[in-house]
C-alpha cells in the first residue's frame, strides 16, 4: 500500500501521466520503467528505432515473459492441485499458456488495442500478436518489478479474473 501511495505521488510530477495510468488500469500497480511496458507493445513490424538507431520491438521481452509465465503458472497449478500427478499438472499448465488462451487474455486486458504494428502484418502472424504482447508484458513486469509482482499480477489479474482452475 505504501509503495502505491509513493508511486501516485511520483506520478503527479510526471509530464506524461496517461501511459502510466493506462498501465495502472491493466496491471493494478504503476510501472517504474515505462519504456519496458511501451516496448512490450511494439511489434517488430513497427520499425521503431532507439536514439542510437537500433530497432526496438517486443521479441526479447516475449522470450523472457514466456519463461516467467510458464514458471508462475506451473507454481500456481502445483499449489492449487496438491494431490494431482505430473501429467495432469503439465496438461493444465499447457492449456493455460497455449496461444489461444494468451490471445484471449490479452484481449480481455485490452492489450490488442494498444499494440503498435504496421497493417502489413500477415493475417497468420497477426493471430499471434496479442498473445505475444501478453508474454512481452510479463517480461516487462519481471524486469521492472521482479518475480513477486509477476506472481501477483498473474494470480489477481489473470487467474482470479479470467481462468477457473477447477
Q: Number of helices (H) and strands (E) in the chain: give both, helices first.
A: 10, 2
3-state secondary structure of 42: strand
Q: Give me the half-sphere count of Cα atoms (radius 13 Å) on the Cβ side of residue 99.
A: 7
Q: Which long-range contacts (CB under 8 A, 24 or more apart) does 16-19 make?
A: none
Dist CA 71 CA 76 (whole Å) = 9
- Of the residues 135, 144, 164, 166, only one is catalytic, namely 135
- Of the residues 62, 66, 86, 144, only one is catalytic, namely 66
Q: Is 18 a catalytic residue?
A: no
Closest by alpha carbon to 99, among 66, 57, 76, 144?
66
Q: Is 164 a catalytic residue?
A: no
Instruction: Give the residue numbers marked as catalytic.
Output: 66, 135
Amino acid at each position: 500500500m505504501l509503495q502505491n501511495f509513493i508511486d501516485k505521488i511520483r506520478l503527479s510530477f510526471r509530464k506524461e501521466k496517461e501511459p502510466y495510468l493506462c498501465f495502472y488500469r491493466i496491471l493494478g500497480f504503476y510501472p517504474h520503467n515505462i519504456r519496458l511496458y511501451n516496448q512490450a507493445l511494439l511489434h517488430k513490424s513497427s520499425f521503431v528505432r532507439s536514439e542510437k538507431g537500433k530497432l526496438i520491438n517486443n521479441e526479447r521481452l516475449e522470450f523472457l515473459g514466456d519463461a516467467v509465465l510458464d514458471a508462475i503458472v506451473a507454481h500456481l497449478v502445483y499449489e492449487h492441485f496438491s494431490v494431482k500427478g505430473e501429467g495432469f499438472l503439465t496438461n493444465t499448465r499447457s492449456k493455460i499458456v497455449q496461444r489461444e488462451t494468451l490471445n484471449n487474455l490479452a484481449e480481455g486486458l485490452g492489450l490488442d488495442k494498444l499494440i503498435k504494428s504496421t497493417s502489413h502484418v500477415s493475417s497468420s502472424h497477426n493471430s499471434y500478436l496479442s498473445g505475444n504482447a501478453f508474454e512481452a508484458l510479463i517480461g516487462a513486469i519481471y524486469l521492472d518489478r521482479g518475480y513477486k509482482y509477476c506472481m501477483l499480477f498473474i494470480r489477481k489479474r489473470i487467474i482470479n479474473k479470467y481462468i477457473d482452475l477447477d
